[in-house]
Amino acid sequence: MNYTAFLEETSICKEAFYKHALTEDCKTVRIKKEKTIIKNLEKIFEATFRICAEKGFQGMTMRDLSTESGLSMGGLYSYFSTKEELSITLQRAGNTFVGKWLEEQSKDIEDPEERLKKVIRTHLYLSELMQPWFYFAYMEAKNLNRKERETAKQAELYTEKIIFDILVEGEKRGQFKTRNHNLTSAVLKAALQDWYLKRWKYQKRDTSVDQYADFVIELFNAYYFN
């Protein structure tokens, strides 16, 4: 699988994310038409990412968001009463969406090596497709309240656990060397994060997401097989 094939398979990925946000966390929305909700959530989320890229979430006001999204203040408040509520929704919905997507894409692959490759590529391709959310979630997690910050930490550890479980299974089957799987899963997660946090660096070097995925997999192979 490469990024082009991934896009063909997941052509409704972003829409699926907005639907997920609705079902997972937008319990107070006072509009009943799902199509309208999905369309406006997209406007709100995309406007949030654009504003945050310029002056950060903490510097954004609800009026800024109203202007950028094209929604009236009243229309905006029918979705989120505060920007903190918006931040929590973005964090929760995104984290559970990514976790479920990683599981869904890899659950039917028996071979641990192939399953790990699938997880690595899926995570990188998702972060390429939804880079504004990934960057937002990482950068703004520190500004959440203690409870939500802990939830965000658990979401990161959940991705590591997916990787860890694959490594353990691979060792049991005699396919992988005996290594420190906890440390390996943490380092692999950090490598996946570097792609969307330091995107400018890889763009400057003309590195594509497929090249980066290949490189991460090669590093893993060198450590676990050679």
Three-point CA angle 189, 192, 196, nearest 5°: 135
pTM: 0.89
Q: C-alpha angle with apex 27: 24 to 32, nearest 5 degrees?
A: 110
Euclidean distance between CA atoms 58 and 86, whole angstroms = 12
Compute the average pLDDT of residues 194-223.
95
Q: What is the pLDDT of residues 48-63, one digit of tens each?
A: 999 998 888 999 999 9
> Which range of residues forms the domain containing residue 56?
3-224
**What's the rounded Cα separation, in Å, for the pair 117 and 206?**
22
CATH code for position 200: 1.10.357.10
Q: How many domains does the chain have?
A: 1
Q: For residue 164, give Cα distances in angstroms to 3, 131, 147, 151, 187.
A: 24, 24, 25, 19, 11
pLDDT digits (tens, 9 = 90+) for 9-30: 765 566 777 777 776 655 555 5
